[in-house]
């Protein structure tokens, strides 16, 4: 049997897969559908194969049954003929019958034949005489004696004859008296009814009939004798066996046709087929159910994994319930572990993004977030207290004592604030800046008391690394809503207050006042004006003499910048230089001062020198040395007549770099003076770190001389050290002869101050030099 192409296993599987792919969208339904389709396919193939097997088996069985039936039929026919012959034998030897036959006693013969017919239960009993004539048991016999005679004479006594058009079984017994006088013939028809009786004796339902060969249907005619063939007919498929039976008449060829319905044979197995089909259907259903469960077992955890991943992607912390097969459990475990790890890392990142690494305090961003929320809820009875804190001179401490000490100091400040204000949010804004936020303050809360607490917390001695350090910090405070209705404006107000606290003197707090805002806008306006003035070249240089006590003459002038403002009159450098510093404009402005000072000094007589102030920011900017070299070259001023005044604050920050720059300037041949010595971060160590040509002792020391006390000793210490280091000393702000005398006594080399002259415009310098030459007349040099 050849299998249908479509049913070939690999094609079937491929088709199934394609079908599954098209129909099922989820993994679970795909697996389930695939299983069901595969199972159904296997069952279908099984049913087809088993069905074919059953058909083959049934056909074989039917053939065997038919063959056996044929033999039984032969025997039945033979037995029947023998019975008929036996009955005939008795009558043929009966004396009365023989006598009646001999005498021709027709009534007796008829009666004997009738009695024989009835007893032997045959259709007809007759005598065939040697001439072929027939004496029958009844009237109208259709036995054709003449046709039989040939066979009978040939010794044949069994066979089939035609009886009135119907095939009949015949058995002949010779009547011998003693010579052969005829034959007693018993004939029994083989019509449908008779055959039916025969069939009932057979083990299987067969149809049997005896027909003459000439009357065989066209389908049966070609069937070889004695063989079983399959014939299609109106009654469906049948197995047919055609066999020859002996004929007792000439010219006839009777055939026994046995037919067995194949449909009927196969029908016996219908039950089996139905059972097989039921098993398959139940198998597919059970298999399908199992496949659905199995696929759910795989797909459901995957689905919940996917849902969890989606939820996780959406921001929720989703965990998966650990269940299912071991692989699925391990996948869920891994997913959960990943969620935990990512969560932890996210929290770390979150923490890092909102906290300061050094102090672990919230950072500026976090502070502003909280301030934003506080501001949205603030009112006159829920006030917001914002403090902006800046550690004073932190850079100097850091540089002098090293970064580890600086870090520790910041940590100490952080810890102190947290300990003292446990309800506040303390944040580090970066560098040495901190923030403190208190929210929901009612009107009874005393903000000044809080400010004082802050002041006392921040201004004290702290022990760091075993050393006592004097902590100092400035605090700017703003109170919401009065000082600002947004986080931005409150912070700005606190910043302005801090600026003010710093400029008022360090280690103090300052509350925001509206005037600070006005001051800030004034500064902004001035910045704009300053920019325009630089562009228009509105500045002038004034010069103040530097007087040598020992030589009793003016040795040089300090160039001091002036800004003649169209509206505000002459603006002091003390006002605009810090703004120019902050905005960076000082670089451009300072370069102008250097060029202008050199230009004018080149016109001065003799060796009179000029001193130019260089701001810290200008010093570290690129191109200062180039600018100075160019100015000297263009004006022809000898480098030795140019002095640069720098302040101690240049040592805040990168000391090494500052020293490198100072050395490179000294290499140009110019002199370097340390201005305002003793104001800021005064450290005698600076004097040792660089060979200054001059030290300018600040006005504050000079003034202190008038009050007596330790000032004399300090000035003496400075002049002694300077002398030892080969540096000149100059005292600033000398306004009286007494100070002049005192300074001379303490060993000061030079003085500068109103006593000699106020700063004068450039065009007056030459005249001033002239007027100051007979110095002996004016200053009593001891
Ligand atoms: P400074 O370099 O210490 O200059 C000395 C200041 O003391 C000058 O103030 C001068 O007028 C003032 N002064 C001199 N003698 C006396 C005195 O006897 N009594 C009093 N009370 N004051 C006296 P000025 O001109 O207002 O300059 C202030 C500061 O501005 C300067 O202090 C300097 O640091 C800065 N400055 C001035 N010009 C320039 C400049 O061109 N560049 C830079 N970077 N800074 C400059
Ligand atoms: Mg100066
Ligand atoms: Mg000075």
Q: Per residue, what are the HEC states of 674-686?
A: EEEECCCCCCHHH
All structural domains of the chain, each given as residue ranges with its CATH number in brackets, are 1-26+298-352 (no CATH), 58-266 (3.30.450.20), 364-512 (3.30.70.270), 525-776 (3.20.20.450)
Cβ of 678 less than 6 Å from ligand 1: no
**Residue ranges of the chain with per-residue pLDDT less than 70:** 1-13, 15-17, 19-25, 139-140, 203, 317, 322, 324, 680-683, 774-782
CA distance 211 to 220: 11
String of b and e for 738-775 (b: at least 16 CB within 10 Å)?
ebbebbbebebbbbbbebbbebbebeebeebbeebeeb
Let me know how long the chain is. Answer: 782
Q: Which of 563, 572, 732, 759 to mutate to test the pocket of ligand 1 (most atoms within 8 A of CB)?
A: 732
388: β partners: 435, 476
CA of 581, closest atom in ligand 1: 44
Is any ligand 1 atom within 6 A of the Cβ of residue 544? yes
- Residue 560 Cα to ligand 1 middle (Å): 6
Give the distance (Å) from ligand 1 centre to CA of residue 623.
24
Peptide linkage before 178 cis (omega within 30 of 0): yes
pTM of the model as a whole: 0.52
Say if residues 288 and 295 touch (Cβ distance below 8 Å): no
Q: Which residue's CA is the closest to the ligand 1 atom numbered 23?
A: 733
Instruction: Identify which ligand lies nearest to the alpha carbon of 577.
Output: 1
What strands, in cross-sheet order, belong to the sheet with 124-129? 134-136, 124-129, 180-189, 166-176, 158-163
Contact 550 CB / ligand 1 (< 6 Å): no
In angstroms, rounded to a whole number, what is the distance separating the alpha carbons of residues 135 and 115? 14
Predicted confidence at residue 777, as pLDDT, reads 43
How far CA 484 is from CA of 382, 451, 491, 698, 753, in Å, comes to 13, 18, 8, 41, 46
Ligand 1 atom nearest the C-alpha of 752 is 15
Distance 745 CA to ligand 1 centre (A): 25
Please tell me the distance from the alpha carbon of residue 754 to that of residue 621, in angstroms, as a whole number: 33
Question: Ligand 1, from 541, 573, 762: best to mutate by most atoms within 8 Å of Cβ?
Answer: 573
User: Is the CB–ligand 1 distance for residue 484 below 6 Å?
Assistant: no
In this structure, what are the phi and psi dihedrals at residue 353, rounded to the nearest 5 degrees?
A: -75, -20
What pLDDT was estimated at residue 768? Answer: 93
Residue 332: enclosing H or E segment and its boundaries?
helix 326-354
Ligand 1 proximity of 613 Cβ (cutoff 6 Å): yes
- pLDDT value, residue 775: 46
- Measuring from atom 46 of ligand 1, which residue has the nearest CA? 613
What pLDDT shows up at residue 639? 96
């Amino acid at each position: 049997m050849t299998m249908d192409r479509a049913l070939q296993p690999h094609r079937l599987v491929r088709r199934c897969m394609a079908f599954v792919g098209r129909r099922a969208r989820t993994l679970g339904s795909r697996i389930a559908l695939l299983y069901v389709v595969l199972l159904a396919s296997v069952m279908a193939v099984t049913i087809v194969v088993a069905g074919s097997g059953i058909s083959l088996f049934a056909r074989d069985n039917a053939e065997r049954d038919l063959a056996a039936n044929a033999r039984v039929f032969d025997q039945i026919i033979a037995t029947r003929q023998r019975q008929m012959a036996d009955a005939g034998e008795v009558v043929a030897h009966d004396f009365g019958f023989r006598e009646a036959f001999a005498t021709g006693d027709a009534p007796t013969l008829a009666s004997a034949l009738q009695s024989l017919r009835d007893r032997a239960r045959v259709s007809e009993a007759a005598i065939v005489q040697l001439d072929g004539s027939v004496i029958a048991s009844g009237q109208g016999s259709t036995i054709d004696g003449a046709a039989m005679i040939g066979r009978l004479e040939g010794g044949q006594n069994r066979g089939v004859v035609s009886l009135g058009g119907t095939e009949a079984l015949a058995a002949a017994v010779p009547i011998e008296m003693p010579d052969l006088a005829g034959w007693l013939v018993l004939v029994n028809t083989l019509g449908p009814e008779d055959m039916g009786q025969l069939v009932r004796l057979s083990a299987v339902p067969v149809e049997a009939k005896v027909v003459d060969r000439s009357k065989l249907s066209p389908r049966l005619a070609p069937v070889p004798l004695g063989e079983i063939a399959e014939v299609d007919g109106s009654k469906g498929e049948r197995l047919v066996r055609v066999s020859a039976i002996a004929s007792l008449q000439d010219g006839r060829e009777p055939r026994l046709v046995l037919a067995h319905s194949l449909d009927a044979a196969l029908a016996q197995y219908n039950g089996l087929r139905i059972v097989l089909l039921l098993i398959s259907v139940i198998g597919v259903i059970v298999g399908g159910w199992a496949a659905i469960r199995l696929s759910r077992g795989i797909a459901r955890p995957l689905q919940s994994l996917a849902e969890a991943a989606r939820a996780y992607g959406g921001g929720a912390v989703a965990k998966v319930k650990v269940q299912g097969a071991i692989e699925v459990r391990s996948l869920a475990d891994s997913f959960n572990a990943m969620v935990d790890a990512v969560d932890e890392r996210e929290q770390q990142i979150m923490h890092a993004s909102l906290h300061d690494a050094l102090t672990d305090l919230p950072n500026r961003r976090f502070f502003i977030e909280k301030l934003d929320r506080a501001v949205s809820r603030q009112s006159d009875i829920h006030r917001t207290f914002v403090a902006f804190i800046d550690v004073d001179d932190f850079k100097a401490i850091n540089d002098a004592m090293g970064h580890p000490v600086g870090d520790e100091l910041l940590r100490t400040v952080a810890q102190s604030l947290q300990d003292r204000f446990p309800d506040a949010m303390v944040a580090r804004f970066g560098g040495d800046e901190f923030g403190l936020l208190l929210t929901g303050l009612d009107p009874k809360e005393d903000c000044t008391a809080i400010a004082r607490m802050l002041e006392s917390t921040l201004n004290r001695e702290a022990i760091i690394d075993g050393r006592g350090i004097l902590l100092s910090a400035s605090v700017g405070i703003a109170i919401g809503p009065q000082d600002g209705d947004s986080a931005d404006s409150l912070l700005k107000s606190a910043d302005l207050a801090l600026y003010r606290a710093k400029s008022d003197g360090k280690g103090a707090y300052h509350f925001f006042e509206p005037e600070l805002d006005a001051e800030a806008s004034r500064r902004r306006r001035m910045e704009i004006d300053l920019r325009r003035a630089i562009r228009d070249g509105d500045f002038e240089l004034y010069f103040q003499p530097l007087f040598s006590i020992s030589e009793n003459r003016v040795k040089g002038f300090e160039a001091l910048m002036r800004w003649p403002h169209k509206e505000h009159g002459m603006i002091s450098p003390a006002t605009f230089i810090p703004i120019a510093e902050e905005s960076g404009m000082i670089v451009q402005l300072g370069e102008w001062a250097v060029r202008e000072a050199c230009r004018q000094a080149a016109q001065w007589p003799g060796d009179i020198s000029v001193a130019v102030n260089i701001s810290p920011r200008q010093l570290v900017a690129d191109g200062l040395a180039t600018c100075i070299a160019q100015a000297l070259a263009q004006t022809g001023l000898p480098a030795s007549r140019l002095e640069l005044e720098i302040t101690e604050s240049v040592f805040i920050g990168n000391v090494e770099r500052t020293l490198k720059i100072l050395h490179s300037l000294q290499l140009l041949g110019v002199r370097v003076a340390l201005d305002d010595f003793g104001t800021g971060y005064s450290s005698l160590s600076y004097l040792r770190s660089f060979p200054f040509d001059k030290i300018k002792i600040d006005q504050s020391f000079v003034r202190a001389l008038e009050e007596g006390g330790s000032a004399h000793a300090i000035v003496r210490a400075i002049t002694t050290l300077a002398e030892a280091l080969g540096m000149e000393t100059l005292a600033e702000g000398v306004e009286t002869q007494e100070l002049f005398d005192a300074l001379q006594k303490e060993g000061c080399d030079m003085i500068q101050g109103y006593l000699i002259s106020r700063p004068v415009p450039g065009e007056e310098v030459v005249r001033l030099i002239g007027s100051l030459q007979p110095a002996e007349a004016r200053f009593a040099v001891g």
